[in-house]
Amino acid sequence: MAIYLLDFVLPQVAKLSRCLQAEKLDLTAISGLVDSTLQTLHESLLPAANWVLELLDAQDELQAIAIIDSESITSFQDKVAKPFVTDLKENISRRFSSQDIVASFSIFDSSKLPQKDSPDLSSYGDEFLGVLEDHYGKELAAKSVEGEEFTVPALVSSDIRTEWVTFRRYITTRPKEDNTKLLMELATNSMLVQMFPHLSDLAKVCLSIPVGTASVERSFSQMKMIKTRLRSRLGEQKLAHLMRIAIEMPEELPDDIVESVIDIWNRKTRRIAV
């Protein structure tokens, strides 16, 4: 019976995991993904859940190797399935307790921004910004450390509203691009940091959100493919350059760039012919 239960539950959790490991994750989709997974897990506790119906269909075959009847299935649901799924739902809810705050960082997604001549631009992001302002605009009482109590100062102030009015206009002047690139520029560009100090602090928070480790794991896999046993003397700097090319380059390069790379390669005398 446990196999039938896991056959239903594990694919649902795996779908959520795969979505969170996507190379380009839509922060606004996290809330919906978590809610739909929790709802599906809740349905597994219903008396007529899919895995229960499948178990009942196979009841005649299973009775040949074990004592399985309707009463034992009901007992399994109450004593095993319900506690297991309930704990799993609580674990997921606890891990994503701040999903509304995470979704609010989608204001930095330039692909969702209305056109600069659209009337929706004047109010775009105000609701999400309010969520971030409420969460990061308050002093937080921290626990005492070695007997000394202290507070964590507010990260943003009401000035962030003024910054946002200017910044969303600034985004419309830029080409649609990857969110990470815009966030990195907002967090590190000295001019933007000076113009939008509170938004810059939020960008640093967004870049540090540990949504998943898939990109890190892909980097390690790429490093193993580049620095093989036969290339063990490859230096750190050249390895870093090769990894950046392998990870960040587009799937297809224009013909003129390909020809330029081959030309540069051929300029250096090598022991092998290209």
Domain ranges of the chain: 2-97, 102-207, 229-267
CA atoms in the 13 A half-sphere facing the CB of 87: 5
- Residue appearing with tokens 């999903």: 99
pLDDT tens per residue across span 97-112: 777 888 888 888 777 7
Q: Distance of CA 249 to CAs 181, 185, 245, 246, Å?
A: 14, 19, 5, 6
CB-CB contact of 201 with 155 (8 Å) = yes
Distant-in-sequence, close-in-space partners of 207: CB < 8 Å, separation ≥ 6 = 180, 183, 184, 187
**pTM metric for this prediction:** 0.59
Q: Quick one: pLDDT band at residue 87, thresholds 50, 70, 90?
A: very high
Contact 31, 100 (CB under 8 A): yes
Q: Judge whether 73 and 1 are in contact, CB under 8 Å.
A: yes
The pLDDT tens digits of the residues spanning 221-265 come to 888 888 888 888 888 888 888 888 887 777 777 888 888 878 887
